């Protein structure tokens, strides 16, 4: 049997990597052999072997994973291009928009994976040259960062490939609501919202609108954050549900009290429209525009919309006008109902049972226990962490959340 020939993709990768490595070799050769710089000395003190080992591990991860991923994505790109060539874009604009979006996504992923291979090759060469004292500390630092970034990107890529639900690729709107009146519940809701806000910032997510609706106590009754990065809905959808804090009672020693905050995760459609028909008579909007003009608007132009058949509500306060908040609240309500109807497998939102929704909303997702033994227990995954502060303050939420495999 004849030996397999190299694919055009492999040949292109080989030819593309050559000039970059050559430029790097020239740049490395220009570094004086007797002057590694202060940066290298610092890295030597921290343990050059340890850093070099982490670079090598990251490079191996990229080399063993990126090639197969690149071939897969290039095949997906070619397939999308063939679909576009055969289709008249004007026959079905919505379907054509979806195909164009998939093609753009495939092209972007291919470019990223190629860049990862270049970064891995550079990091590998720098690591080898550092053993011969032919490289300075700053380049070694750059190689370390590039290799770690490349490995983390591949980890995210592999996780995102598991998210196959119809809305998993979309952004996410995170809504945290105090379940009961009172300062304790409202402060807990604000703490949970701060955890997600900081997590999104730490992950480098693109954060859009952030809004907070206060109670008569002046604390947060409800807060919402729109994360405009892809795959955020699929990543965070497992977070929805009740987040319960259990803490020692100040009044009765040896007993515990509990307060809860509800977390809703709804898709934020980034580049495609969605439509869900609702009759105007099924909507209850408060306040009405006439009432809004008369009341004391402590929360700005906040608007709440309720779907009367199901009892589902949504609100918005982050826009500048009453009508803009009304449209935003209706859009969020539609996204909520779209998810609920799919989960309950009903074709008409009027068939959604209030009892079924209450059961879902009251389902506990995570328990945070304060006291002598501080711990966090995620009821979906069974994961338990003893570092309560690391979850709430260092924002390591991802340690508790497993990838959701959508049943759809």
| Helix, strand, coil in percent for the chain, rounding step 5 | 50, 15, 30
Q: What is the pLDDT of residues 85-118, one digit of tens each?
A: 777 666 666 666 667 777 777 787 888 777 777 7
Q: What is the DSSP string of 226-272?
A: EE-STTHHHHHGGG-EEEEEEEE-SSSTT-EEEEEEEEEEEEE-SSS
pLDDT of residue 223: 94
pLDDT of residue 292: 77
Nearest CA to 388 among 366, 372, 368?
Answer: 368
Q: Is the dihedral of CA 91, 95, 99, 101 positive or negative?
A: positive
- Stretch 44-49: mean pLDDT: 55
Question: Which structural domains are found in the chain, ordered by start?
Answer: 10-31+38-161 (no CATH), 173-399 (3.30.70.1660)
Q: What is the pLDDT of residues 304-320, one digit of tens each?
A: 999 988 889 999 988 88
Residue 368's pLDDT band (cuts 50, 70, 90): very high
pLDDT of residue 224: 94
Q: Which of 5-14, 41-50, 364-373 has the highest mean pLDDT?
A: 364-373
Q: What is the pLDDT of residues 132-185, one digit of tens each?
A: 665 566 777 777 777 777 777 777 777 777 777 788 888 999 999 998 878 889
Counted residue by residue, the chain has a size of 408
Please measure the distance between the N-terminal and C-terminal CA atoms of the chain and give it in whole angstroms.
43
What b/e sequence results for 363-397 when a residue is b if at least 16 CB atoms lie within 10 Å of its CB, and e otherwise? eebbbbbeeeeebbbbebeeeeeeebeebbeebbb
Tell me if 43 sits within 8 A of 137, measured CB to CB: yes
Please give the share of the chain, as a percent, with pLDDT higher than 70. 76
Q: Which of 253-257, 274-278, 297-301, 311-315 has the highest mean pLDDT?
A: 311-315
Please give the share of the chain, as a percent, with pLDDT higher than 90. 20
pLDDT of residue 47: 55
Q: Over the chain, what is the mean pLDDT? A: 76
pLDDT of residue 187: 92
pLDDT of residue 25: 36
- Stretch 50-54: mean pLDDT: 72
Q: What is the pLDDT of residues 206-235, one digit of tens each?
A: 998 899 988 888 888 999 999 998 889 988
Higher pLDDT pick, 275 / 32: 275
- Stretch 353-380: mean pLDDT: 84
Higher pLDDT pick, 79 / 179: 179
Higher pLDDT pick, 100 / 12: 100
Q: Which of 120-124, 276-280, 323-327 has the highest mean pLDDT?
A: 323-327
- 0.95 exceeded by the pTM? no
∠ Cα 396 401 404 (to 5°): 150
For 125, half-sphere exposure in the C-beta direction (CA atoms, 13 angstrom radius) is: 19
């Amino acid at each position: 049997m004849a030996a397999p020939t190299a694919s055009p993709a492999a040949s292109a990768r080989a030819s593309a990597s050559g000039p970059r490595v050559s430029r790097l070799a020239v740049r490395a050769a220009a570094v004086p052999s007797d002057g590694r710089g202060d940066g290298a000395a610092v890295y030597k003190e921290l343990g050059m072997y340890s850093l070099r080992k982490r670079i090598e591990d990251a490079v191996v991860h990229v080399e063993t994973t990126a090639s197969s991923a690149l071939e897969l994505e290039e095949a997906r790109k070619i397939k999308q291009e063939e679909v576009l060539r055969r289709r008249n874009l004007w026959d079905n604009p919505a379907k054509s928009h979806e195909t164009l979006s998939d093609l753009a996504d495939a092209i972007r992923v291919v470019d990223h994976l190629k860049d990862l291979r270049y970064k891995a090759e550079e990091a590998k060469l720098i690591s080898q040259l550092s053993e011969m004292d032919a490289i300075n500390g700053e380049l070694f630092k750059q190689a370390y960062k590039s290799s770690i970034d490349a490995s983390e990107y591949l980890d995210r890529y592999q996780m995102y490939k598991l998210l196959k639900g119809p809305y998993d690729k979309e952004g996410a709107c995170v809504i945290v609501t105090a379940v009961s009146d009172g300062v304790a519940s409202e402060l807990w809701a604000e703490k949970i919202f701060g955890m997600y806000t900081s997590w999104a910032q730490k992950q480098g997510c693109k954060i859009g609108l952030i809004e907070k609706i206060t109670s008569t106590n002046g604390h947060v009754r409800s807060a919402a954050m729109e994360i405009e990065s892809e795959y955020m809905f699929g990543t965070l959808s497992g977070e929805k549900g009740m987040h319960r804090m259990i803490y020692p009672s100040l009044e009765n020693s040896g007993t515990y009290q509990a307060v809860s905050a509800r977390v809703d995760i709804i898709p934020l459609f980034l580049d495609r429209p969605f439509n869900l028909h609702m009759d105007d008579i099924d909507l209850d909007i408060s306040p009405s525009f006439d009432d809004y003009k008369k009341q004391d608007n402590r929360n700005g132009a906040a608007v709440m919309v309720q779907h009367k058949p199901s009892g589902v509500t949504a609100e918005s306060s982050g826009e500048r006008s009453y009508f803009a908040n009304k449209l935003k609240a209706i859009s969020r309500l539609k996204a909520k109902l779209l998810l609920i109807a799919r989960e309950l497998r009903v074709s008409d939102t009027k068939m959604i049972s209030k009892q079924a929704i209450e059961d879902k909303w009251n389902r506990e997702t995570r328990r945070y226990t304060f006291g002598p033994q501080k711990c966090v227990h995620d009821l979906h995954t069974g994961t338990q962490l003893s570092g309560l502060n690391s979850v709430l303050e260092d924002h390591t939420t991802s340690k508790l959340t497993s990838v959701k495999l959508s049943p759809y």
